[in-house]
Amino acid sequence: MKIALFASPAEDAVRYLRQLGLDYVVHGMPSTPHGTLDYDQLMRTRDFFAAAGLSWDVIENLNPEHYYQVMFGLPGRDEQIDNVCATIRDLGRAGIGVLQYQWMLLGGLRTEYSPTGRGGARYPRFDMEVAQRYPAAALDWLGEGGKPYPHLPDRELDGEQVWDNLIYFLERIVPVAEEAGVRLAVHPDDAPVPSYMGVARIMVNLEALQRVIDAVPSPCNGLGFCQGTIGTMAGVDMVEAIRRFGSQGKIFFAHFRNPRGQVPCFDEVFPDEGDTDMVEAVRAYRESGFDGVMRIDHCPGVIGDNPRADRSFAYQVGYLKGIIQSLDLEKEA
């Protein structure tokens, strides 16, 4: 298991990762106005990380603005798919083996970020009751995201339409990914509610994750296994879910996060106080043969932290390392 943090190609950011003892970084590059990546910039970024001793194996995410027409099944989608294919080929040339993308038509949803947590830590929260009262305010991670495209929907879409659009997309990009040696990892809908403002959210349960895998069978079609999102799907047992998809070899990339609660209401808490026993979760990843990159995901806000949340992420890196090294000891015994 390769622990990583998301980082930009900046000296202090990479030094911080190295100080925490990380060998892997996850990064998301901005697209060009045409919706492709700049290959030269991609290589420069990759080389910058490599020079700092960091391996960049996963890119996360594509800018949804550049496949918006595809998600909504609108005219112009084929041109956007061509751009995504060009990006995949460039990633293959650069040796970046995993592309995580999301299929959240309205982006990530949250309703609060308040000091309601342990010691007054700020926990990101989603509460469907609040979201129904102020639906627009919950879009794009409470407006804290990059706002890459209009989120307010101008039409309604049901689940099968969204599925059709996804499969149309996959049927065209998966063969390109196979050729390029890039594995495609879809991120589930966060928050995993079945519909929002009249637009279906399809990746909201384990059956849906299986359906994506089965719809276009390929060694390059799999999951960005966001533990934080999957843990908030109604009725999910996280450890069983890891074993189910891990044993199929379909976890291409994982997010380490441990929420408390499931839809319709959950909090993103510290990893030692969420609903999942994270020791058992890590054990399940290892036993199911997952050896990919695991990025520490969102974290609670702690006092005096910087915008990069170094303090909170340091806690989580230490926590994950502590579990892994202790499990290694168990193995030795």
Partner 1 sequence: MHVALTIQVDRDDQFILAQQLGIAHVIVETDSWETDDLTTARNRAEQTGLQLVGVECLQIDPHPADPEAQFDHVARIVRDAGTAGVSQLFYQWTSPANPAPEPTAVGRGESLVQPQLESTAFSADEVRGFLERLAPVAAESRVRLVWHADGLLATDIDRWLAADAPFGTWHGIELCSAALAAIPSADFAEILGGWISTQKITAVHLRGLRSGESGPVGAFLDEGEISIPRTLRTLRTANFDGSVRAAPPPGLVDDTAWGHKGRAFDTGYLKAVLQTLG
> Please, which residue, 63 or 316, has the CB nearer to partner 1?
316
Q: Which is nearer to partner 1, 214 or 306 (CB)?
A: 306
Q: How far is the CB of 242 from partner 1 (least distance, A)?
A: 16
Nearer to partner 1 by Cβ, of 137 and 279: the residue is: 279
Q: How far is the CB of 22 from partner 1 (least distance, A)?
A: 9
Q: Computed over its alpha carbons, how large is the radius of gyration of the chain?
A: 19
Smallest separation, CB 304 to partner 1 (Å): 5
Binding site for partner 1 (CB under 8 A): 12, 15-21, 117-121, 270-273, 278-279, 300, 302-304, 306, 310-312, 314-323, 325-330
Burial of 259 (0-12, 13-18, 19+ CB in 10 A): buried
> Is the Cβ of residue 22 or residue 199 nearer to partner 1 in the bound state?
22
Nearest approach, Cβ of 318 to partner 1 (angstroms)? 3
In whole angstroms, the minimum distance from the beta carbon of 130 to partner 1 comes to 24
Tell me whether residue 24 or residue 252 sits nearer to partner 1 (CB atom).
24
